[in-house]
Amino acid sequence: MLIGYARVSTIHQNLDRQLGALLAAGCVAIFAEKASGRDVRNRPELEKAIQALGNGDVLVLAEWDRATRSMMDGIAIMQRVGDRGATIKVLDKPHLDLSTRMGQGFLAFLSALAEEERERIHKRAAEGRSAARRRGVRMGRRPKLTQHQQQTARTRLARGESCRTVAADMAVHHATIARLR
């Protein structure tokens, strides 16, 4: 039996291309999710797909990096699938025979490349945030209170009013007011 797995990283991305490829490959069941590949513990649909595998079944992936973004995780997935008596088929790598040690080794190599790409993405994002901060861009959520409201709250706190009283009047959490001290 062919069991498919598809994943995209964010809720804004689309699974259609992967799902189409898995359906065209003849998958009987398809497990799909929108979750970061960086988090190897929070992929419940991948877990369900692996649990659904039986002896002789095949886990079908549109692309290998949809299942993993780290070499060790990729090797662990191959081991778990193998322990269930199943194999893995990667649609964008049809020349790989994952029933051989050479094919499995190549897939481990691809996992290492995916891990390196994830690290490059992280580094570029961090550099972009640093450059934005240097340009004066403020990161994070917008303040709950305007500058005028903040000054009013500080004045009231200086007069001895409690954080909770001021917060209730301004419809914010008391911690928001406490941080103004």
Q: What letters, b where the CB count within 10 A reaches 16 and e where it falls short, cover 49-68?
A: bbebbeeebbbbbbbbbbbb
CA angle 89, 50, 57 (to 5 degrees): 50
The single-letter code of the amino acid at 24 is A
Q: Can you give the three-state secondary structure of 96-143, one letter per residue?
A: CCCCCHHHHHHHHHHHHHHHHHHHHHHHHHHHHHHHHHHCCCCCCCCC
Whether 111 is catalytic? no
Beta partners for residue 5, in sequence order: 31, 61
The SS3 assignment for 60 reads strand
Choice among 9, 36, 99, 111 that is catalytic = 9
Which residues are annotated as catalytic?
9
